[in-house]
Structure 1
Amino acid sequence: MVKVKESRASWLASVFGLLALYSLGIVTPLETIDSYLGGVNVTNLLQAIFALLAIFFFNDSVRQLANIPRVSWTYYAPLLSIPIMITCFALIEDKRPTAANFIFPRMEQLATAAYSGIYMLALLFTVLRLVYMLRHKAKGLLAVFAAGMIVVAVACACHLTYVVLFHFTPWHEFALAIGSWFYRLFYLGLSVTAASWLILFLSKHLPRLRLWMTDALWLTALRIRVNADRSLFKPAWDFINETLEDGIYKSLIRLHNHEVTKLEAFPEPIKNRISRIEAKLGARI
C-alpha cells in the first residue's frame, strides 16, 4: 500500500490486530504459543496489549482521515494502562494452566479484576474519545462508523459491569448474563466500523491513487533501471514510505541529479514523459 497521511497508523493498527488474533490461538494452538512463554497464560496479556494498541492506532488513523486535531493530554492516556495491566497480571496467583477462559476462574482475585477492568476501561476510553472527536463530523459513512464505535463502547461497558458485579457482589449469575453480551456486541461493532472505514478510506483515496499510481511506479522502475541510487532498495522504500506526490517529487529530483552527475541525458521519449509528470505535479501543487 502506498503511503498516504494516515496509512502508517492504519498499518500499525492492522499489524497489532493480526498479532492479537494470532495470540488467541486461531492459527497456532494456544497451548503451543503459551508454552514458549512459560505456560502461564502470558498470551492473554499479550492479546490484551495488542488489541489495545490496535484500537489506539486505528483511532489515530481515523482522526487523521477526518482531519481532527490531536488532543495532547488524552492522546497517550490509554497507553498508560499497559504497565498497570502488566503489574496486575504479575500479581494474579495460580496462572497455570493455559486456557482460553483464563480470566473467569480467577475473577475472585482482586488482581484479576483490576487487570481485566483496566484493560476494558482503556478500550472504552479510546472508543468514547473517538466518538467524541467525530461528534461534529458524523455524517454519512462517518455516522455509520461512529455507530459501530458506540456498539463497541457498549460491549466494553458490559464487560466492565460484569467484572464489578462478579467480583464485588454476590450477583454472579446476573454478572455472567451481562458479560455474555461482550463478544457479540464487540465483534458486531468492529465489523460495522471496519466496513464503513474501509469504504470511506477507499472513496477518499482511489481517485488519487488512479491519478498518481502509474507515474509513481514508472519513476521508481526508471530509478532502479538507470541505477540512480546507491541502493537498489532506496527507490522502492521511497515509494512505500512517502505520500504519492512526495515520492514522485523525490524521484524526479533523483533522476535529474543522475543526469547531471553522469552527464547522460535520457532518451527523448523518457524526457517527454518526465516533463508531462512535472507539469501534472506542478498543476496539482
Structure 2
Amino acid sequence: MIKVAESRTSWVASVFGLAALYVLGTVTPLEDIDSHLGGVNVTNLLQAIFALLAIFFFNDSVRRLANVPVVRWTYYAPLLSIPVMIASFSLIADKAPTAADFIDTRMDQLATAVYSGTYMFALLFTVLRIIYMLRHNAKGPYATFSAGLMVVAVAVSCHIAYVVLYYFSPWDDFARAIGTWFDRLFYIGLTVTAAGWLILFLSKQLPRLRLWMIDALWLTAMRMRVNADRSRVSPAWDLFNETLENGVYKSLIVLHNYERVNLMEFPESVQGRISHIEAKLDAQT
C-alpha cells in the first residue's frame, strides 16, 4: 500500500526473488518442480533468470529512490545476458538427472562455464552499478545498504573466480575452496542489503504514509459505501494502483461527481472532512 514509483519496481523485484527461491526447491522438492519441466534441471535456468530479473528491477527501484537518471545501455545491459544463458544452457551435455549441484558436477564443460559465468557477470555488473549510483550518498542507511551490496559483489566475484580457475587452470581444489565462499557471503550480503533497504525506504515513506494513508482509506470507504463508482472493484483498485496523493485526489473527484450527478450533498460532517483533505492537498502544491 506504499504507492510510490520506486515501490512498484521493488514489488516486482520481490515477486521475481520469491520465484527464484521457490525453484530452488525450498518449498516444493526440486525433483517435483523439475519433473514438470522435463527433468533436465531447467529449474536451475529459471532460478538464474528470476534472480537476475529480481536484481534488475531492484536496481531500478534504487535508481528511482536515489533520483538517478537512466543511462540506457547500462540499464538494459544485464538483460542481454539472458539469451546467452539460455543458449549456453541448451548446449550443456547430460543435463539430467535433477540435482542441486547441477553446475558443480558439469563445470568441466565449456557450455556450463559460459552459462554460469555469464549469469554471475550480469549480477556483478548490476550490483556494481547500484553501488556506483549511490556513491554520493554513502551515509546513514545508504551506507548500510551499500555495504551489503559490496559483500554481495565479493560473493559473486568468488563464484566468477571459481568458474575461471576450475575450467581454465589445473587448480581444481583451490577453485572449489574459493567457490565455497559464494553462498556464505552472498546471503550475508543480501541480509545486510535488505535491512538497509527497509530502513532507507521506510525513512523516506513513513512521513507520506502518516500524512495520506488515513485519508486514502477513508475516501475509499466512502466511495464504496455510497456506490460512487460503476464498479465495486474500482475504489480498492485505485487504492493499490495509485500513489497515495493521486489516489486521494481521484477519490475526491469521484465523490464530487457523485454529488453532482445525484443532485445532492453529503452530510455536513462528511463535507467538513472532505474540505479538510482538500486543504491538505492545496498546502502540498
With structure 2 as the length reference, what TM-score do the two structures score?
Answer: 0.98
Deviation (angstroms), 1:5: 2.0
Deviation (angstroms), 1:2: 3.0
Query: Secondary structure at 2:26's aligned position in 1?
Result: coil
Match in the other structure for 2:233: 233
Q: Is the 8 A contact 1:2 1:239 kept in 2?
A: no
Gaps of 5+ in 2: none
For 1:264 and 1:44, the matched residues in 2 are separated by 61
For 2:138 and 2:83, the matched residues in 1 are separated by 34
CA root-mean-square deviation: 0.8
Match in the other structure for 2:169: 169
Query: Secondary structure at 2:5's aligned position in 1?
Result: coil
For 2:168 and 2:2, the matched residues in 1 are separated by 50
Number of residue equivalences: 285
For 2:204 and 2:234, the matched residues in 1 are separated by 28
For 2:267 and 2:275, the matched residues in 1 are separated by 12
Match in the other structure for 2:257: 257
Match in the other structure for 1:114: 114
Match in the other structure for 1:51: 51
Deviation (angstroms), 1:47: 0.4
Once the two structures are superposed, the pairs formed by residues 163-242 of structure 1 within 5 Å of their partners are: 163-242=163-242
For 1:264 and 1:131, the matched residues in 2 are separated by 56
* Deviation readout 1:191-216 (Å, 9 max, x if unpaired): 11100110111111112101111100
Q: Is the 8 A contact 1:88 1:115 kept in 2?
A: yes
For 1:69 and 1:82, the matched residues in 2 are separated by 24
Query: Secondary structure at 1:231's aligned position in 2?
Result: coil
Deviation (angstroms), 1:267: 1.2
For 2:134 and 2:71, the matched residues in 1 are separated by 13
- Amino-acid identity (%): 73
For 1:77 and 1:229, the matched residues in 2 are separated by 44
Deviation (angstroms), 1:284: 1.3
The residue identity in structure 2 corresponding to 1:282 is D
Gaps of 5+ in 1: none
Runs of 4+ in structure 1 displaced over 3 angstroms? none
With structure 1 as the length reference, what TM-score do the two structures score?
Answer: 0.98
Match in the other structure for 2:85: 85
Match in the other structure for 2:19: 19
* Deviation readout 1:43-66 (Å, 9 max, x if unpaired): 000000011111111111111111
* Deviation readout 1:120-151 (Å, 9 max, x if unpaired): 00000000011111111111110111111111
Match in the other structure for 2:156: 156
* Deviation readout 1:207-258 (Å, 9 max, x if unpaired): 2101111100000011111111111111111111111101000110111111
* Deviation readout 1:79-134 (Å, 9 max, x if unpaired): 11111101111111111000000001111111100000000000000000111111
The residue identity in structure 2 corresponding to 1:280 is K
- Verify: 1:282 aligned to 2:249, yes or no: no
